[in-house]
Structure 1
Amino acid sequence: MLTEADLASAKGEIVNDDSVIVGDGALFQEIAQKYLKHCEANTDSKKDYVSALNKHWMPDLALIPIHQITSDLIRDIISDIDFKSDKTFNNCLVPLRGVFEKAIELRLITPAENPMAMIKNKKVQSGLPDPFTRDEMNALLNWLDKNLTDKDHFYYWYFEVAFWTGCRPSELNALRWKDIDWFNGSVIINKSRVRGVEKQVTKTHTAREVYLNDRSKRALEALDAMKLSDDYVMICPETNEPFYNEKPARMRLIEAMKSTRVRHRPAYNARHTYATMLLMSDVNPVFVANQLGHSLQMLIKRYGRWLHGDQNKLEISKLTTD
């Protein structure tokens, strides 16, 4: 057990009596370690949990017995922390809740004694998708095609695939040639690659079959002709290795946006562009949801304003001001 002397020593302070034990019972830091050890989250999420616990919660809670921690104490700690956003606040509460849930599981506290039951998440407003228009997309792709030369021309084909399949960057970077069904014109999306680590699941843990149109199929055929790899479809031209992250591709699209004066948006919005192009072409929403790996409910919630194409403009035009 850590003593007051241990804690004071770490702070550079001096105490005369080092025999005083810090509290009794299992300490917060002990349960936090068990929570992290047993947590089934992926590697990246665990890193975020460790960071949140160490930065925000351990300094005040580490040496307190878990059963002595109250909602008021946690609220006091929260009031002293300047969280960057409500979303950051909610994310930092995730591992804190996990620690107390682990304490309940270990029967160190009862559900009624869980101090997190009184700590609520803050409401976060979800932003609307901000897709490129079809004209903007074509302007960007034309610029990439004409201005990227030699190995860099790879990124033109990369974004042809991104815009015309709606795959997430992490899914494109994990795509392998064996996932492509040339005969039926489709690709199987069931993996992701984040920070150089390949995961055998997508972001939503949903595998899907994405059907190719003439442009996405032509782009994949062009990449196949490059023979950059017999394994991964997307190989970084600078390193000749699978992509560590999406930054190299993103920087090329930023260059294209600046040169064409297209309003800046994240490269991820190629996915939103694909979704909205399908919906505005009156494609069956169920098919669109399947292509994106969404439920129909999520699709409607996320892209509802595009479900009727230009019909919304026609409807508002009926309201005259005369």
Structure 2
Amino acid sequence: MVDRTNSKTLPTGVRIRENALEINFTSKKQRYYITLPHPPTAEGIRTAAKIRSDLINKAKWGLLTEKDIAQAKGLDVTETESMDGQQVLFQEVAQKFLKFSIANKDSKNGYRKILECHWMPYFALTPIANITTEDIEEVIIDRDFQTAKTFNNCATPLRGVFELAVKHNQISVNPMNKIQNRKVQVETPDPFTRKEMEALLAWLDKSLHDEDKFYRWYFEFAFWTGCRPSEMIALRESDIDWFNGTFKVNKSRVRGLEKKVTKTHTSREVYLNERSTLALKALLQFKKDQGYQTDYVMLCPKTKEPFFNEKPPRERLVEAMKACSIRHRPAYNARHTYATMLLMDGVNPMFVADQLGHSLQMLIKRYTKWLHGDKNKQEIAKLSVTRTA
């Protein structure tokens, strides 16, 4: 018989039944009732609440196994059973993959969602040693990934799960070895022309007032340094070397979190030029005039805090493009603009690659079109020259 005398004081989903603790919860329309091997004391009740919470979290992510339930009941589950490759389920290895992954928080959350959405419905309760390359290929066909990039992103955590199983001797061969990433079409950079850049900056200078004037100098700095938005909003005064005319780029801000690395995990030293120096001094003067007490160079005028993301400046540039009747491009393309201006002016590609944080090979691959400056236009112009006999 259920003891309801103290039910109002018990945690949700915990009750005393025949002088024992019972927890209950629902997952995927199935109701679980589990009697625990803990006495109905204050300490036992706290333990029961924690066990229930852990089981609910596992169920939420599709990681709940019969072994988890057996352990909660206090049944004897031998370690050898879980280490036997034939008994270890895909979801158990997936759980460990997420736990041991050294990826950042955003990437881990992404992996978790991918595994839950695309792979758990098919493989969760399958012994990992039984999953073959053919099984995976059938799931890939069933999922019908719409783009190569989406497929590659979804294959990454799946490949990681099997790699962990190989490492722990639960399988001998990774079945993903024969499944290659799909080729992603690399789009050619689409920079603003110098004339377009100057028109955008002129509109920002004329149309923005008071605290919004900040964005005029933000984009002056973006166009003349080639920094990624995530690098710009992480920049600090302590990164600037005025004596040598440089600043360090060694971190980024993404969704309000500061990372101690750049997108490519490569730090670099960017040289200031006349216009980026002017922009940087204007940004620091703006911060001083506003009375900001922080080391960050870029602060959102609206919140007075470091930027959560690059959306506020992006919206200003979109407004400028519309006003100037300039074809829309992402604000990120200010970086491409700087790169192509340098190359068109004949700057050494090695220096350009270093300033952007690219390898020389990557720079040449992405910006081949601009490596010869105006010579390409000169060559094509020859086609229209009228030759006399």
Deviation readout 1:45-77 (Å, 9 max, x if unpaired): 111111111110011111111001112211121
Q: Does 1:54 align with 2:116?
A: yes
State the one-letter code of the partner of 1:186: T
The aligned runs of 1:130-279 (5 Å cut-off) are 130-226=190-286, 227=288, 228-279=292-343
Q: CA contact under 8 A between 1:229 and 1:235: conserved in structure 2?
A: no
How far 1:278 sits from its partner (Å)?
0.2
> Equivalents in 1 of 2:124, 2:277: separation in Å?
55
Distance in structure 2 (CA, Å) of the matches to 1:117 and 1:98:
11
State the partner residue of 2:379. 315
Shift of residue 24, structure 1, vs aligned partner = 5.0
The answer to whether the aligner puts 1:64 opposite 2:114 as a matched pair is no
Confirm or deny that 1:298 pairs with 2:362: yes
1:124 aligns with 2:184: yes
| Higher RCO (CA < 8 A, seq sep 6+) | 1
Segments of 4+ moved more than 6 angstroms: none
Task: Flag structure 1 segments of 5+ consecutive residues without an equivalent.
Answer: 1-8, 15-20
What TM-score do the two structures reach when normalised by structure 2? Answer: 0.76
Count of residue pairs the alignment pairs up: 306
- Structure 2 spans left out of the alignment, 5+ residues: 1-25, 32-65, 68-84
Give the partner amino acid of 1:196: G
Rg (Cα) greater in structure:
2
Q: Letter of the aligned partner of 1:81 in structure 2? A: R
Report the alpha carbon displacement of residue 183 of structure 1 after superposing the two structures with TM. 1.7
1:34 corresponds to which of 68, 93, 96: 96
Query: Comparing 233-242 with 72-81, which one deviates more in the overlay?
Result: 72-81
CA deviations on 1:65-121 (whole Å, 9 max, x unpaired) are: 10011122111211121323110111100000000000000001112xx22122222
For 2:337 and 2:250, locate their aligned partners in 1 and report how far apart those are by CA, in whole Å.
21
The sequence identity of aligned pairs, in percent, is: 64
Amino acid at match of 2:162: F
Alpha-carbon separation, structure 2, partners of 1:37 and 1:13: 26
Give the aligned partner of residue 6 of structure 1.
Answer: none
Amino acid at match of 2:136: I
What is aligned with 2:155? 93
Which residue matches 2:37? none
Equivalent residue of 1:265, what SS? coil
CA distance in 2, matches of 1:257, 1:108: 56
| 1:318 positional shift | 3.1
Q: Deviations over 1:251-281 (max 9, x none)?
A: 0000000000110000000000000000000
Partner-residue secondary structure (3-state), 2:143: coil
Aligned-pair CA distance for 1:11: 4.7
Contact in 2 for aligned 1:177/1:232 (Cα 8 Å)? yes
CA RMSD of aligned residues (A): 1.8
Counterparts of 1:286 and 1:12, CA distance in 2: 61
